[in-house]
């Protein structure tokens, strides 16, 4: 390596070092200028991550305890203490537990005998449906059938048609059956009742 090349090499090294030092000084200045903001961001991130970890642990712990309580409830659904604890741990599971109690005809807990006490929409509708079928309440069945989201809509319509047929309202029963799609799972029952109604109307 010639003397000139050595000089050029040294110059390049000095320029590289100067550039590095310049960038380092810029970073240092930026840090000093924004030190408080950076510290605040680090603090917020630390608190957020810690909170998420703690929250996740608490949720997992609650899920485990809720499931244990729900299993205890299934074994002893007359235990009010378990039901009360379940309400505090998991409100949705508590609502399902109340639905089970309402379904139980032997339930002696009068505080749970009102359908409106179940907050989960579909469970509440199923209870209303069961009550309407038991009471042969056409008005209530019609009201429920207007809800497009109702889980047992086709079965409800079939039962409504069946009640109308039992009450000798054959034409109303026939028009009600038309609301059930041919793709429905209750289509077989629909066809049987339809055949019965044809014989009655003719």
Residue 192 CA to chain centroid, in angstroms?
37
Q: Is residue 5 part of a domain?
A: no
Q: Is residue 150 part of a domain?
A: yes
129: containing domain = 120-202
> What is the per-residue pLDDT across 122-178, written as a single tens digit (0 to 9) for each?
677 777 888 888 888 888 888 888 877 776 888 889 889 988 988 889 899 999 999
Q: Is residue 13 part of a domain?
A: no
Burial class (CB within 10 angstroms; exposed 0-12, middle 13-18, buried 19+) of 48:
exposed
> What is the per-residue pLDDT across 86-110, written as a single tens digit (0 to 9) for each?
888 877 778 778 777 776 644 444 4
Q: Is residue 126 part of a domain?
A: yes
Q: Is residue 148 part of a domain?
A: yes
Whether the model clears a pTM of 0.75, i.e. scores above it, the answer is no
> What is the per-residue pLDDT across 105-114, written as a single tens digit (0 to 9) for each?
444 444 444 4
Q: Is residue 146 part of a domain?
A: yes
Q: Is residue 166 part of a domain?
A: yes
Burial class (CB within 10 angstroms; exposed 0-12, middle 13-18, buried 19+) of 184:
middle
Q: Is residue 135 part of a domain?
A: yes
Using a pLDDT cut of 70, give the percent of the chain over it. 73
The tally of domains found in the chain comes to: 1
């Amino acid at each position: 390596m010639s003397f000139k090349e050595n000089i050029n090499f040294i110059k390049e090294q000095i320029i590289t070092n100067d550039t590095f030092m310049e960038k380092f000084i810029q970073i240092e200045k930026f840090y000093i200028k924004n030190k408080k903001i950076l510290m605040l961001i680090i603090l917020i991130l630390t608190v957020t991550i810690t909170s998420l970890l703690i929250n996740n642990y608490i949720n997992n712990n609650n899920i485990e305890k809720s499931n244990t309580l729900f299993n205890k409830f299934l074994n002893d659904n007359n235990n009010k203490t378990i039901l009360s604890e379940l309400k505090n741990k998991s409100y949705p599971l508590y609502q399902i537990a109340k639905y089970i109690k309402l379904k139980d005809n032997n339930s002696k807990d009068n505080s749970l005998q009102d359908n409106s006490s179940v907050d989960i929409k579909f469970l509440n509708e199923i209870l209303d449906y069961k009550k309407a079928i038991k009471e042969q309440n056409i008005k209530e069945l019609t009201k429920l059938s207007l809800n497009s989201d109702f889980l047992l809509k086709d079965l409800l319509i079939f039962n409504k048609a069946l009640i109308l047929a039992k009450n000798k309202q054959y034409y109303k029963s026939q028009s009600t059956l038309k609301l059930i799609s041919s793709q429905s799972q209750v289509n077989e029952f629909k066809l049987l009742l339809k055949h019965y109604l044809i014989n009655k109307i003719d």
